[in-house]
Amino acid sequence: MPKRKEGTWWIESDSDPRWNAGGTYVLLFCQDSIDKVQLSTTSPSELRLKITELKNKYGDPPKDGEWGYCPYRNTVLPPMVPTRIEKS
């Protein structure tokens, strides 16, 4: 049976506030088919779509641009460490 995991995501830049964004995500997965390690290294599609949208709109991300996501407390997934936004 599919499991549902929810949390929040964010994109931040001190030097270019146009890149500041955030939202929520929902991950649906089958517990037997995706282990915790694989799932914890997979960013939410909502976050990936927003990064793509911002790259298309503003070009390369600022050097201090970071992104991350964190599941809500009632989930088995570990919190993520903020990560630099990769250039295209």
pLDDT for the residue numbered 55: 92
Whether residue 3 is predicted with pLDDT greater than 70 in this model: the reply is no
pLDDT for the residue numbered 43: 72
pLDDT digits (tens, 9 = 90+) for 37-81: 344 445 788 888 898 899 999 998 898 888 888 877 654 545 555
Average pLDDT score over residue span 17-38: 68
The helix (run of H) or strand (run of E) holding residue 50 is helix 45-58
What is the C-alpha to C-alpha distance for residues 66 and 71, in angstroms, rounded to an integer?
17
Return the domain boundaries, the chain. 2-84
Tokens of 66: 């970071």
